[in-house]
A = this chain, B = another copy of it.
Amino acid sequence: MLDPKTRRPISAEDLSRLFSQACSEQELNTVDRWIDIPEPVREKYSYWRCTPLVRAYGLEEALSTPAHIYFKNESVSPIGSHKLNSAIPQAYYCSREGVTNITTETGAGQWGAALSYAAGVFGLECAVYQVKISYEQKPYRRSIMQVFGAQVTPSPSMSTRAGKDIITACPNHQGSLGTAISEAVELATTTPNCKYTLGSVMNHVALHQTVIGLEAEKQMALAGEYPDIVIACFGGGSNFGGIVFPFLRHTLADGVRTRYIAAEPASCPKLTRGEFRYDYGDASGYTPLIPMYTLGHDFQPANIHAGGLRYHGAGSIVSELLKQELIEAVDIRQLDSFRAGCLFAKTEGIIPAPESCHAIAAAVDEALKCRENHEKKVILFNLSGHGLVDMSAYDQYISGSMNNTGE
């Protein structure tokens, strides 16, 4: 990563002006193969972890596929998604370092809800900038953050210089993860004793999320299976890295042949149609420059319901893995994602988050290929969260008024 001003490689000290010291060090750590989960974090994890690994018998039957389909059910966390896996350690590290206030951006609101709860757990104040279109489309996510005691502001807002600049240039800007990051970063850098946190893209977030894959690996072993294909939806890479990296190490070290598929929305296709280059993590150029597959930091994605996947870039590790063809990417259209999501709901009883529907759609595609080719592959996907706060999206799908590119 490069400093946006000097264009020189950034140090952990540079990063720690924005992030907690511990996360800054984790971000650039290339020495330690394993980093222990602190005991207070493990204690909080124990509220809902280990999460279930489920064999999707109902889905298999509906697809008449010889494939074995497993999913890791991250929807059972208090917040309903995998985001809490990183919110808890990030809030913990901040509190251990004497920080009193934390801030962040959120799209669909899942990361914001996770951080709001985690902040409360460790006695921190929390301010969340929520992408304006999600703030308006998903008022319930805002309420969830407020119940947990967070202050929630729609972005772009007039409360920061970055927000004012964006609104001046584009008065009807509906917001993006990029605009919200700009505002949160500005708040963190101009408020004493306040740190910024991120729910995806960064290496330390993917690190925290690897608890998903590490658990899944042991659970698959209990089931006497090993995945031929591992699938996750893709926004910035946190749930993808979380489930994929622990399996990928066996590919890198022992040559185990597993396919890893990132499922991104067709309307925000950074992996399948983006460019690999240095780019900013936010819309206004406040963050370090990151080597990534990107659609450009000023990309304005369509208002698809999968708010968590509306981000212009991909985390650097995932980007490098894609460049080296160690992982694959597919793009999923909105209607196809909800069709797969409804099938999953009926057959497995869990209404998936619009983001997770992308992983399900990719898993269904692979399972159907297995049916065609009479192959008994083992498919594992990550159910990153449930969609109970996204029922208006399902309403639109059921009523036939949904399209593929936005609303």
Contact = CB atoms under 8 A, between A and B. Distances in A.
Interface of A: 47, 54, 58, 76, 78-80, 84, 117, 120-121, 139-140, 143-144, 146-149, 342, 345-346, 348-351, 388-389, 391-392, 394-395, 398
A261 to B, nearest CB: 25
Given A147-B394, A394-B143, A398-B146, A348 B78 contact: yes
B389 A147 contact: no
A348 B139 CA distance: 22
B47 A349 contact: yes
Given A78-B348, A398-B146, A388 B140 contact: yes
Interface-central residue, A47, A350, A391, A398, by most chain B CB under 10 Å? A391
A351 B144 contact: yes
A128 to B, nearest CB: 15
Copies in the complex: 2
A102 to B, nearest CB: 16
A71 to B, nearest CB: 12
B121 A349 contact: yes
Given A54-B47, A143-B398, A148 B345 contact: yes
A345 B148 CA distance: 7
A394 B143 CA distance: 7
Nearest to A114: B349
Interface-central residue, A54, A79, A388, by most chain B CB under 10 Å? A388
Contacts of A388: 80, 140, 144, 388-389
A394 B76 CA distance: 21
Contacts of A120: 346
Contacts of A148: 345-346
A52 to B, nearest CB: 8
11 contacts: A78-B349, A79-B349, A121-B349, A139-B395, A140-B388, A143-B391, A143-B394, A143-B395, A146-B395, A147-B345, A147-B351
Given A47-B349, A121-B349, 9 more contacts: A47-B348, A76-B76, A84-B349, A117-B346, A140-B392, A146-B394, A147-B394, A148-B346, A388-B389
A349 B148 CA distance: 8
For the complex of A and B, list the 8 residue pairs with the smallest distance between their C-beta atoms, beginning with the closest.
Answer: A78-B349, A140-B391, A143-B391, A388-B388, A143-B395, A147-B345, A78-B350, A117-B349
A76 B58 CA distance: 19
B149 A346 contact: yes
Nearest to A79: B349
Nearest to A80: B388
B351 A398 contact: no
Nearest to A140: B391
B391 A391 contact: no
A65 B249 CA distance: 47
A296 to B, nearest CB: 35
A353 to B, nearest CB: 12
A180 to B, nearest CB: 21
A259 to B, nearest CB: 27
A351 B146 CA distance: 11
A149 B391 CA distance: 14
A130 to B, nearest CB: 14
B348 A144 contact: no
Contact of A389 (B139, B345, B391, B395): B391
Nearest to A346: B120
Contacts of A146: 394-395, 398
A363 to B, nearest CB: 18
A337 to B, nearest CB: 14
